[in-house]
Chain A
């Protein structure tokens, strides 16, 4: 199988998955009880007949559900029109866009920190197998795995705000909102410490565990014995022969983990009242704001699917066995 064939298949799979997500979204939207227009605008929202009429047209409610309404919805979603939020009375796409970057900042920081520390610690734990370091790393990752994200967030929030005087939530102190970014960086950093720490602790364990088993497996390969027989030192073997091979599975895992990371963001943003997509998701849930909920789901799902596709492409670039043959 050539690499272009492989990439094409991955691309087709991503498209198929996105299509399934859209289908789920559409079906869920249609099974909501009552008049669809009422469902769109909310039960208790007073709205002019004019807007109601425009909504009717927008959703093509005079036409059959399938294929007309489905195609129409698809067209709208594709053009970036995700409907209007019931609770915030603004276009969903606009709201999502305004929160997206805050979440990317949080997830990005948490991912980078947990990957760096996780890979290094996993490497050491696997290399020095069955030592105290290894046992400690394993115990830590098991406990981290068994701990609910939001509960760790609550504990760190309580401890951090009581003993360290860190802010209890939000992304900026009220007096700093709207000021130029470079003047509020220290305040932003103070707000980011606890949520980032929570994310990092939780994902660190998993990356560590994966890197550990990956490096143990790699170091059991015959070519490591060859490298040793060549006279290379342990460090040279780790760096030149083991690291690249052991890192390959990590690339895929990072992408697959993005789904979990998104879950983590929902919990953590809720606990720390961090103004991102996760918090928005939780708000939409409690306010039963379906257009917002589904818009957010669509955005999160499509981002994760695309990230997975990117990881597959990256993998082909890194592993010569996939690239040709």
Chain B
């Protein structure tokens, strides 16, 4: 069976923020991963590890003090080589984005249907009348009565707003959907509904999803592939099965330990003392070294490279040196 081409292929993506003339904060360093059609990839890690920055870097939505380098191939085109105007044609039409808090992500003084309609008309996908029909279908698809589209976002409940946001994201039938913590701001019951909806939509429409979350329970339910980020670097990536059943990196192991019950995740990482490093004061060696239970002298001075530990399973830890690609869990 021939391997399909990846839809999105991120290579050596590095993002710096200019803090002042002399100081740069390194938000992402050498991040690489692939997203295949019809797949869901989970980006996981604590907050401040560069998950959202990864999405915004790919979409080039970062402020002017950001410096991007590397390549982001989407359907073979390097998005980072495009002009801003060319990039605009890709946004939403090919790559749509769902934000964490739909309350703030929807314009409060525009009607919901207008905001969805705007995206369709902007990319000139169909005439206005047909587009209106499509807005109705989309609202119906996400479980909102189409006539409620005439209302304003503040008249919606939190869950409905997130559904409306999903409808808006689907407006141009993108081939890739970025979801940035789509359920964090919702209460547990609604969370489950929205996740169910995302799953459903992926099955129906066959799009690829990149899901940013710190909730490993969600990852287990929705994702095919997992990329674990720490301090702006990929520390481990692999299939859900590989990550859950044989985590290689100490950080991944601890992260999993802190979610003992995948269906009732807690939001605190009790088992890892300390906090992620500040981006302006990154440790010179392995970024996880200050918090790592398995650290040794080398970790402090030398950053470990990503090593292949199994087929399509990579991890960055000095402890893995010399292990064969077929090795099991440590």
Q: Per the CB under 8 Å rule, do A and B touch in the complex?
A: yes
What residues of chain A have their CB less than 8 Å away from a CB belonging to chain B?
Answer: 221-223, 225-233, 236, 240-241, 244-245, 248, 319-321, 324-325
Contacts of A231 in B (CB 8 A): 88-93, 119, 122-123
Residue of A nearest to B101 (CB): A222
- A245 in contact with B154 (CB, 8 Å): no
Contact A321 B152 (CB under 8 A): yes
Across the interface, do B92 and A325 meet the contact criterion of CB distance under 8 Å?
A: no
Q: Which residues in B have their C-beta under 8 angstroms from that of A240?
A: 110, 118
Do A245 and B108 touch across chains, with their CB atoms under 8 A apart?
A: yes
Complex contacts, B107 vs chain A, CB 8 Å: 223, 226-227, 241, 245
Q: Which residues of A contact B93 (CB under 8 A)?
A: 231
**Do A230 and B105 form a contact, CB below 8 Å, given A222-B99, A240-B118, A325-B154?**
no
A230 surroundings in chain B (CB, below 8 A): 91-92, 118-119, 122
A245 touches B61 (CB 8 A): no
Are B88 and A233 closer than 8 Å at their CB atoms? yes
Residues of B within 8 A of A (CB): 59, 61, 88-93, 96-97, 99, 101, 104-110, 118-119, 122-123, 152, 154-155
- The answer for the CA separation of A49 and B59 in the assembled complex, in Å, is 89
Residues in A with CB closer than 8 Å to B119 are 230-231
Q: Given contacts A233-B88, A244-B109, A320-B109, is CB(A225)–CB(B61) below 8 Å?
A: yes
27 contacts between A and B (CB under 8 A): A222-B99, A222-B101, A222-B104, A223-B105, A225-B61, A225-B105, A226-B105, A226-B107, A228-B61, A228-B91, A229-B92, A229-B96, A230-B92, A231-B88, A231-B89, A231-B91, A231-B92, A231-B119, A231-B123, A232-B118, A232-B122, A241-B107, A244-B109, A245-B109, A248-B109, A324-B155, A325-B155
Judge whether A241 and B110 touch: CB under 8 Å: yes
Q: B88, A319: Cβ atoms under 8 Å?
A: no
A251 to B88, CA, bound (A): 34
A118 CB to closest chain B CB (Å) equals 21
Give the shortest distance, in Å, between B280 (CB) and chain A (any CB): 22
Most buried by A among B59, B89, B92: B92
A229 in contact with B101 (CB, 8 Å): no
Min CB distance, A318 to chain B, in Å? Answer: 8
Q: Which residues of B contact A248 (CB under 8 A)?
A: 109
- Chain A residues near B104 (CB-CB < 8 A): 221-223
Q: Which 8 A-B pairs have the closest CB atoms?
A: A222-B104, A231-B91, A223-B107, A231-B88, A230-B92, A320-B152, A229-B97, A222-B105
> Are the C-beta atoms of B108 and A321 separated by less than 8 Å?
yes
Q: A324-B155, A325-B154 are in contact. Are A226 and B106 (CB under 8 A)?
A: yes
Instruction: Please name the residue on chain B nearest to A240 by beta carbon.
Output: B118
Which residues of the partner chain B approach A226 to less than 8 Å between Cβ atoms?
A: 97, 99, 105-107
Given contact pairs A226-B99, A228-B61, a sample of 15 additional A-B residue pairs in the complex whose CB atoms are under 8 Å apart: A222-B104, A223-B104, A225-B61, A226-B106, A226-B107, A227-B107, A229-B91, A229-B97, A230-B122, A231-B89, A231-B91, A233-B88, A240-B110, A245-B107, A320-B108
A325-B154 Cα distance, complex, nearest whole Å: 8
A6 to chain B, nearest CB (A): 15
Q: Do A223 and B106 touch across chains, with their CB atoms under 8 A apart?
A: yes
Q: Which of B59, B88, B108, B122 is close to A223, meaning CB atoms less than 8 Å apart?
A: B108
How many angstroms from the CA of A321 to the CA of B110 in the assembled complex? Answer: 10
In the bound assembly, the distance between CA atoms of A245 and B118 in angstroms comes to 17
* Residues from chain A with Cβ under 8 Å of B108 in the complex: 223, 245, 320-321
Tell me, in angstroms, the Cα distance from A233 to B88 when the chains sit together. 8
Cβ contacts under 8 Å, A221 to chain B: 104
Q: How far is the CB of B271 from chain A (nearest CB, A)?
A: 33
Nearest-neighbour CB distance to chain A for B65, whole angstroms, equals 11
Which residues of B sit under 8 angstroms from A321, Cβ to Cβ? 108-109, 152, 154
**Residues of chain B lying within 8 A (CB to CB) of residue A229:** 59, 61, 91-92, 96-97
In the complex, what's the smallest C-beta–C-beta distance from B206 to chain A, in angstroms?
A: 22
The CA of A241 and the CA of B115, in the complex, are separated in Å by: 10
Closest to B119 in A: A230
- Complex CA–CA separation, A248 to B152 (angstroms): 16
Quick one: which of A228, A244, A319 has the most chain B CB within 10 A? Answer: A228
